[in-house]
Amino acid sequence: MEEKLQWLCLSCLMVFASFFSLSGSTSAAHHHQRDVLHPVVLLPGFSCGQIEARLTDAYDSPSPLCGVRKGDGRWFRLWKNSTGLQDLPDVPCFADQLRLVYDPTAGDYRNVPGVETRVLSFGSTRGFLSDDPADKEICMGRLVEALERIGYIDGESLFGAPYDLRHAPAAPELPNREFSRFRRSLTALVEHASRRNGGKPAILVSHSQGGLLALEFLNRSPLAWRRRLVKHFIMASTGAGGIVVTMKGLAASDGAGVLSMRRVKRSFESAFAGLPSPAVFGGETPLVVTRARNYTARDMPEFLSAAGLPASAVSLYLSRALPVALNLRAPLVPMTCVNGVGVPTPEKLVYWDGDVDKDPEVLHGDGDGVVNLASILALDAVFGEDPGQRGCYRSIKMANTTHIGVVSDAFAVERLVHEILEAGRANQTCVLPTAGHWPLRI
C-alpha cells in the first residue's frame, strides 16, 4: 500500500511538472511571437474617427437649444452622435456645429467660430471603435481582434490613427492646418511605435479614405524617414482615381430644413477628395447623364455647378482637391494594395430630366460596391509601373468581396493578417527612381 502511494505521489509530481513546463513553453512562445512582430499602425475609413466639441462664448447659436452648452467648457460627442443624427430637434444644432467654413483670409477651412473640436484617442485603435457595435465591421474592429489574437497589444505594438472626417489634404503649397496637424501626430506616432518595439519599422495598414491620407502622409514625409521607419504599407479598399458614388452624395437632396445634412456634407473639404479623377476616368466616358448634356470626370466643375454648389466651392475644388488627385503617386516604400471586385458598383448616374435633387437611375459596373474597377485597376499603373516601386508592389483582388468586407469578412481578415506577418518577415527594398516619380498622365 505504501509503495502504491509513493508511485501515486510521483505520478502527480510528474503531471504537475509537465503542466508547468508546458505552460512555461507556451508563455515563452507567446512572448517570442510578440518580440518578432513589427508594430502596426491602423488608419480607418471615412466615418470612424470620433470627434468631441465644446462651445466657447464666441459661438453664434442659431437657436437657444443649440447654445445650451455655450461657454461651459465641457467637451461633448459631436461625431459619431446618434442622437444628433436622428432626433429632429437636435439635427439643426448638430448640423451647425459639425459644418466647416472656408476662411478666405487664412486660405483654409475652419470650424464655425466658437466651435472647438478634437479627435478622440489618437494613438489607440479604441479611438475609432465607438459605442455602436456595427462599427466593428466598418472600422477595422475585426482586424483589431484578429491581430490581438496573435499577440498584438493596443498601445504597445498596435496603434490607431483616427482623423477628422471633414478635412482632407490640399495641394502642398496651400494652407492646410488640420492635415498638417495630422501629419505631425502620425509622424510622432510612427516614431513612438518604432521606439516602443526595439527600433523595428512600422507597418501602416489603411482602409478606404484612410488610404488617401496615408499616401499623402508618406509622400510628404522625407524619403530617408520613410525608408527607415515604414516597413510596409498595406492599403485596403482604396482606388487611384476617386469614385462615382461621391457625385451622387454631392447631388442628392435630403429634404428641407434649417440646415440640411447635404449642405453640411458639402461644407466638408473631404467631400471633394473622392470625386472621380480625370486622370483615371478621362474625358470620354460619361459618369452623369441628363437629357441636356452628359458629364465626364473632366466636366466636374460644370457638374458641381449644375448640382447647385456655389462658384466659390467649385473654385476650391479646382485649387485644393483636384491637384492632389492629379498628383497621386507611389510612396516608394514596400506596398500591397488589397481590393474587392465582382460587386455591383455605381458607375453611371442618370438624371434624365436634369433635376439632380431627385434620386438618379443608377447603372452599375464592377468594383467593390463603392470603389469602381477603373479606379482599382489604375493602382497597377500609378504604383506598379512607377520605377521607384519596382520590386516592392503587390496587388491583391478578392473576388465577390465588398468595400467593408475587405476588413470584416473572416477570410479577408485572415488574408490581411497573413500579409501583415509576411510584410514583417520580408526583406524588401524599393529601387530608387532616377528621375522622380512615374507621372500620372491625363
In sequence order, what are the beta bridge partners of 335?
Answer: 233, 393
Let me know: does 155 contact 39? Beta carbons within 8 Å: no
Query: Apex CA 58: angle with CA 55 and CA 63, to 5°?
Result: 70
CA distances 156 to 131, 148, 198, 230, Å, are 23, 11, 11, 17
Residue 285 DSSP symbol: S
CA distance 351 to 295: 11
Q: Residue 400 CA to chain centroid, in angstroms?
A: 21
CA neighbor of 383 nearest in space, from 152, 206, 189, 215: 215
The edge-to-edge listing of strands for the beta sheet with 393-399 is 158-160, 40-43, 202-207, 230-236, 335-341, 393-399
Matching residue, cell 470612424 = 48
Q: Are strands 288-290 and 345-351 parallel, antiparallel or unpaired?
A: parallel
Q: Is 284 exposed, middle or buried (0-12, 13-18, 19+ CB in 10 A)?
A: exposed
For 377-435, give the DSSP string. HHHIIIIIT-GGGTTSEEEEEEET--TTGGGTSHHHHHHHHHHHHHHHH----PPPPSS
Which residues fall within 8 angstroms of residue 84, CB to CB, at 6 or more apart? 78, 90, 91, 93, 94, 98
Chain Cα centroid distance, residue 80: 16
Question: Which positions are catalytic?
Answer: 208, 368, 403
